[in-house]
Amino acid sequence: MMVKKTLAVALGAMLVAGSAAAVEVNQGGKGDLLIAPMFMVKNGWQSELKVINTSVTDSAVAKVVFHAPGRSDEVLDFLIFLSPGDVWTGSVVENANGTVGVKSDDASSITVANAGACPDSQGVSGFNPEQAQFTMPVSMGYVNVFQSRMMRGLPVQPDGTVNKADILKAYSAACVANTPIEDADTDNVLTGSVTMSNPLNGNQLTLGMTALADYNNRTYLSVGGLTAFATNIADASKQQVEDALWARDFAVPYNVSAGNMSFATITFPTKETFNLSLNSQYSAFFPAINDRERDIGTAVPVGYDIRDEEEHKVGTVGCSFSPCTPNETVSLPREFNIVQFIAGEGDSNAGVVYTKGFNKGWANIAIATDVSDTRSNANYNNFGQQGVPALATYIHWDMTGGSLQGTWQYAAKTYRPAAN
């Protein structure tokens, strides 16, 4: 690990020396990289994604990438073509034969093939879920949306809009000509949300996507090509993305009294076991010491401090302090993890935490921390801070009023940027 750390520090210093901007989570919700920490489908559920181009003057091309929960395998990707002020909408649905795909009648959805390394200049409008189909039989996971580049100066139609076919044609031509993509070509204008709904019980949950600014893509993204943080497609490194996401001490409220259900979700978007977690600075993702861990990835140690609403503490389940010995009964083995809080006694494990005698309170999710060794921004980042590159949310369902009511929010966390 010393070699990795030394190289990481050197790389971080070089990147800061040569770049004024740095990738950061934009608390305003707009950026050039979006992450939806969860989608869910099957058993009546479907997930609707929205991506908005908030620029009212320029068009944007983005790539949507769906990841499986276990190893972050890329199960589907496609390009969307957003005119100024445009909103793209697509839904993850289950097909009649049990497969999963994406359905969209949005004009920004253009099914396009590649012509060599670049997308073809023409395509077919819309995504058919039986064609835009997942390559693996997954029912949940997470989504990344990468802005490829802005497209400026396109002709405006009489109704004031920009033709989506013109955006595709211009993007394809720029790719074929290998026109360099500079910082000025990736504006922080994308925002988005994911809505999970189930017509069988009338429930609906909506969460804004996490927006990162100044990721600064450098590559013409195409359909089918691997688009991961470990691939060098951007000005920012994977380690800088981790530094932007760096946090700890995730606090999750729970209510497991009669008629209530509480869950936490933890997503590691930079773990990327399918790509052997290359270039991560987080030591808990390493090492893959045997064939099994190379196949499914290492488990990340975690502890849960369970408290009620009157400051009483049940005790600690698992491991609270780093370094911890990974143990799959008290760890998070997947890239996307769901943890359910259950009242009563029992042995907590990777997917269940028992709250003993408490029905209401909150839990501190203490994921094993590491010290950030990548300087994303010399003046404002998490360099030298204890943390983990994770996104945590909580979901609560209340069934006491005769109908199912749901809440979905990001978990409170410690995010402590350090000055240079």
Asked if pLDDT for residue 5 goes beyond 60, the answer is no
Hey, is 80 helix, strand or coil?
strand
Mean of pLDDT over the chain: 88
379 burial level (CB within 10 Å; 0-12, 13-18, 19+): exposed
**Cα(364)–Cα(30) distance, integer angstroms:** 28
pTM over 0.75: yes
- Phi/psi at 83 (5° precision): -80, 170
Return d(Cα 4, Cα 411) in angstroms, integer.
31
The DSSP code sequence of 241-299 is HHHHHEEEEEEEEEE-STTEEEEEEEE-TTT-GGGTTTT---GGG----SHHHHHH-PP
Which residue shows structure tokens 């504006």? 187
Q: What is the phi/psi pair of residue 13, to 5°? A: -65, -40
CA pair distance 148, 261, nearest whole angstrom: 40
**Among 24-28, 258-262, 275-279, 301-305, the least confident range:** 275-279
Specify the pLDDT at position 347.
78
Q: What is the mean pLDDT of residues 19-38?
A: 87
Query: Cα-flanking dihedrals φ and ψ of residue 195, to 5°?
Result: -120, 120
Contacts (Cβ under 8 Å, ≥6 apart) of 219: 148, 181, 233, 234
Tell whether the model's pLDDT for residue 404 goes beyond 90: no
Q: What is the pLDDT of residues 96-151, one digit of tens each?
A: 999 999 999 999 999 999 988 899 999 999 999 999 999 999 999 999 999 999 99
The DSSP string of 209-228 is PEEEE---B-S---TTS---
- Answer whether 35's CB lies under 8 Å from 194's CB: no
In contact, 369 and 248? CB cutoff 8 Å: yes
CA–CA distance, 24 with 243 (Å, rounded to integer): 8
Report the pLDDT averaged over residues 235-258: 93
Q: State what percent of residues in the chain have pLDDT above 70.
A: 87
User: Considering only 83-92, 199-208, 262-271, 313-322, which range has the smallest mean pLDDT?
Assistant: 313-322
Q: Residues near 143 by Cβ (< 8 Å), separated by ≥ 6?
A: 35, 36, 39, 49, 64, 65, 66, 67, 194, 209
Which one is predicted more confidently, 147 or 377? 147
What are 291-345's pLDDT values in tens digits? 555 555 688 999 888 898 988 887 666 665 555 555 556 889 899 999 999 998 8
* pLDDT tops 90 at residue 400: no
pLDDT at 299 (0 to 100): 87
**Are 66 and 77 within 8 A, CB to CB?**
yes
Per-residue confidence (pLDDT) for residue 9, from 0 to 100: 41
Mean pLDDT, range 194-212, rounded to an integer: 94
User: By C-alpha distance, which of 250, 415, 416 is closest to 339?
Assistant: 250
What is the average pLDDT across 206-233? 93
- Give the per-residue pLDDT at 415: 81
The number of beta carbons lying within 10 Å of the beta carbon of residue 260 is 18
Between CA 216 and CA 263 the distance in angstroms is 34
Rounded average pLDDT over 155-168: 95
